[in-house]
Amino acid sequence: MSTDTAAAIRDLIYKATLCLDDLDWQGWLDLCDEDFQYAIKAYSPEIRKDMCYLNGSREDLANMTEMLPKHNTDHSPLSRHTVVYEVGVDESSGTAQAVSAFTVHQTQLDGTNSHVDAGESRLFLVGKYYDKFRIDGDAVKFVERTVRLNTRRLDKGSHWPI
Amino acid sequence: MPARNLEKWNKPPAGLKPGEWVDSRIYSDQDLFEEELTKIWKKTWIPVCHESELPEPYDFRTMSIAREPVIVVRGPDKQVRAFLNVCPHRANTIELRPSGSFKEGTASGNPKHMTCMFHAWQFDMKGNCVFISREKEGYQDRLCPQDVGLRRLRCEVHFGGFVWVCLDDKMDKSVAQWGAGCFEALQKPLDAEPLEVFHYHKAIIPCNYKLWHDTNCEFYHDYLHYHNRITGFNDAYFARKNTGFPNGHVVVGSFEVQYDQYKGFESRKEVSFPHLPPNHWYMIDMFPGMNFNLRGSALRCDIMTPLSPDKVMIEFRGLGLKSDDPETRQARIEHHNTIWGPFGRNLHEDLLAVTGQGAAMHPDADRRRILHGRHENETIHDEIGMRHFYDEWGKWMDRSPSNPDLKYGEGHNYMAVNP
């Protein structure tokens, strides 16, 4: 495995985390290839089924994020804490994959009683990222991100990609 | 027009008739909440899950109604039955998992039995006690297993395969009778062939359960989703009828949604339900707090579990046809979740709004007056759905929703004043 490529993949995952935390949707999508696919999935022990809470192409995500200003939403910022656990690079096919763990904290702003709650940070989500990448020379881009949530009590939920 | 001082704030708007508002204490008072659990939630039919969640013999699901633990099991005869999930021995909760199968044995019990892990008492799928550990040594001949069977609960599978449970043995109506015709609009689409759950998530929201039901009952909150609902703002949309049925249920009539008017969405004509015209949208709000929402290709069902005056758990399910091929199922899932999923366009906004209501009507908040007074020929922005619901609430509680200090017959109830 190329140490440089693995390091570049780690950097890319962390850069994506920063873009998502900053609501920099275009910056995040710029890290993704044209055929990028995104999904948020979870297994429900209640109905004993694997579920897909959200999925879409790069274009779907661009449309979704473009429409966000036209929606009422909870603007409480999300902070993702990502740790890359595993990176696998296949130099021959120019592909790679990675598994990262994440927690997302939500710092209350305007989703509840802001006078009392604003400023409080609460655990929002726990899960893992399963990412796939395309390597083209020195360039690495996401081609797939599957967000697998452990959290299934999602209360108000969110309009934002995780 | 200046803002109102306290005296004016406490007066109802002069033009509204009695019964076109409710007192906010019905959303916040602890004693009223306890009374609701006893008088309503323990007396009426509650859908607790869908039969596809326990497809095989010995499958089970657990839940609660009005704080009472409930277990639903499918027997070897394929019948679905419900029991209190409480051991007759020492009142331990028998099954703690949300779902599973009794086919395999557990650490304390045998296969094909419900076993209380505490002292290993075991029960069959009909609720009979079939094993008491060291029975003779402890009870000699003083205790018969038939005297310590489980508490059986009224249970029916009805209306598209939902499992309904009633805690009251004396309930004098079947589920069909309880529905009183409100299912008719969707009976053909949902009973044509078996349905299957594909989506489940839960939310616990700091608001009274009725505020969520109100939101499901009124479409005036289209403005909450303005740029999303723009798809539907046409004459046919505003002509949708809200029709009240006996027992407090309301049906919202259909129209054809123009999904392709929302950026990034496409028409959903390709996938529908049997007997449902493509892209149509019906909704049934059932007393005291369930919602069935068939929108084009996906059925959504909200089941509420009130937890306290200012806290409710809402379980959201999405359903398609059991016969779906993978491509069709995927389309239903996507259609469901882009609108109603936890990361979808609408649900987050609806939950945000009732959270705001909950913050303003917490148990210690001053008394407020909540208006339900819009009249638009019983169409989509007419608040008749809420007036119909609260009239039923008043009957079950024997209290006036406008002033819960008064009995139902003493208060200014809208339906009593405007029959």
pLDDT digits (tens, 9 = 90+) for A21-37: 999 999 999 999 999 99
Tell me if chain B has a CB within 8 Å of the CB of A109.
Answer: no
Q: Where are the alpha helices (DSSP H) in B90-223?
A: 135-139, 175-179, 184-191, 209-217
Q: For B202, which of A40, A59, A153 is closest by C-beta distance?
A: A153
Is pLDDT at B416 greater than 60 in this prediction? no
Are A53 and B341 in contact, with CB atoms under 8 Å apart? yes
Is pLDDT at A90 greater than 70 in this prediction? yes
Cα–Cα distance for residue pair B370/B246, rounded to 1 Å: 24
Tell me if chain A has a CB within 8 Å of the CB of B276.
Answer: no
The partner residues of B78 in beta bridges, in order of sequence, read: none
The chain A residue lying nearest B351, using CA atoms, is A156
Interface test with B, best of A40, A50, A53 (most B CBs within 10 A): A53
Q: How many CA atoms lie within 13 A of B406 on its CB side?
A: 13
* Shortest Cα distance, chain A CAs vs residue B203, angstroms: 4
Which residues, 6+ apart, have CB-to-CB distance to B341 below 8 Å? A53, A54, A157, B199, B201, B318, B347
Is pLDDT at A118 greater than 80 in this prediction? yes
Is pLDDT at B417 greater than 70 in this prediction? no
Chain segment B132-158, per-residue pLDDT in tens: 999 999 999 999 999 999 999 999 999
As a whole number, mean pLDDT of residues B72-83 equals 98
Q: State the average pLDDT for chain B.
A: 93
Counting residues of chain B whose pLDDT is more than 70, the rounded percentage is: 97
Q: State the average pLDDT for chain A.
A: 96
Tell me if residue B41 falls in helix, strand or coil. Answer: helix
Are B83 and B154 in contact, with CB atoms under 8 Å apart? no
Interface contact flag, A52 B351, Cβ < 8 Å:
no
Contact list, B262 vs chain A (CB under 8 Å): 67
pLDDT of B114 reads: 98
pLDDT band at B97 (very low <50, low <70, confident <90, very high): very high
- Strands, E assignment, B232-337: 242-245, 249-252, 281-286, 290-295, 298-308, 311-321
Phi and psi of A100, rounded to 5°?
-130, 145
pLDDT of B410 reads: 83
Contact list, B341 vs chain A (CB under 8 Å): 53-54, 157
The chain B residue lying nearest A67, using CA atoms, is B263
* Shortest Cα distance, chain B CAs vs residue A160, angstroms: 7
As a whole number, mean pLDDT of residues A120-141 equals 96
Torsion angle, CA of B411/B216/B226/B262, rounded to 10 degrees?
Answer: -160
As a whole number, mean pLDDT of residues B93-120 equals 96
Interface contact flag, A71 B204, Cβ < 8 Å:
no
- Paired tokens of B339: 């609108």
Interface contact flag, B264 A55, Cβ < 8 Å:
no
Chain segment B211-244, per-residue pLDDT in tens: 999 999 999 998 898 887 766 678 888 889 999 9
* Shortest Cα distance, chain B CAs vs residue A114, angstroms: 10
Is pLDDT at B268 greater than 80 in this prediction? no
A110-139 in b/e form (b: 16+ CB < 10 A) is ebbbeeebeeeeeebbebbbbbbbbbeeee
Tell me if residue B375 falls in helix, strand or coil. Answer: coil
Interface contact flag, B201 A48, Cβ < 8 Å:
no
The chain A residue lying nearest B314, using CA atoms, is A155
The partner residues of A149 in beta bridges, in order of sequence, read: A42, A127
Residue B285 backbone class (left: φ over 0; alpha: ψ -120 to 50; beta: rest): beta
Please give the model's pTM, rounded to 2 decimal places: 0.95
Chain segment B296-332, per-residue pLDDT in tens: 899 999 999 999 999 999 999 999 999 999 999 999 9
Using alpha carbons, select from B221, B153, B161, B145 the residue that is nearest to residue B196. B161
How many CB atoms within 10 Å of residue B8?
10
Q: For A70, which of B227, B348, B359 is closest by C-beta distance?
A: B227
Angle at B156 between CA B150 and CA B157, to 5 degrees: 125
Using alpha carbons, select from A111, A104, A78, A52 the residue that is nearest to residue B198. A52
pLDDT band at B254 (very low <50, low <70, confident <90, very high): confident
Using alpha carbons, select from B250, B317, B336, B337 the residue that is nearest to residue B289. B250
Q: How far is CA B319 from the centre of its chain?
A: 15
Q: Name which residue leads in pLDDT, B12 or B211.
A: B211
Using alpha carbons, select from B280, B124, B301 the residue that is nearest to residue B188. B280
* Shortest Cα distance, chain A CAs vs residue B355, angstroms: 6
Contact list, A49 vs chain B (CB under 8 Å): 197-198, 200
Interface contact flag, B351 A158, Cβ < 8 Å:
no
Is pLDDT at A2 greater than 70 in this prediction? no
pLDDT band at B415 (very low <50, low <70, confident <90, very high): low
Contact list, B355 vs chain A (CB under 8 Å): 111-112, 156
Is pLDDT at B419 greater than 50 in this prediction? no
Interface contact flag, B202 A152, Cβ < 8 Å:
yes
pLDDT of B231 reads: 65
Cα–Cα distance for residue pair A110/A102, rounded to 1 Å: 24
Chain segment B13-70, per-residue pLDDT in tens: 889 987 899 999 999 999 999 999 999 999 999 999 999 999 999 999 999 999 999 9
pLDDT of B412 reads: 61
As a whole number, mean pLDDT of residues B101-118 equals 96
Which residues, 6+ apart, have CB-to-CB distance to B246 below 8 Å? B180, B181
Phi and psi of B227, rounded to 5°?
-75, -15
Interface contact flag, B343 A47, Cβ < 8 Å:
no
As a whole number, mean pLDDT of residues B102-126 equals 96
The chain B residue lying nearest A152, using CA atoms, is B201
Is pLDDT at B411 greater than 60 in this prediction? yes
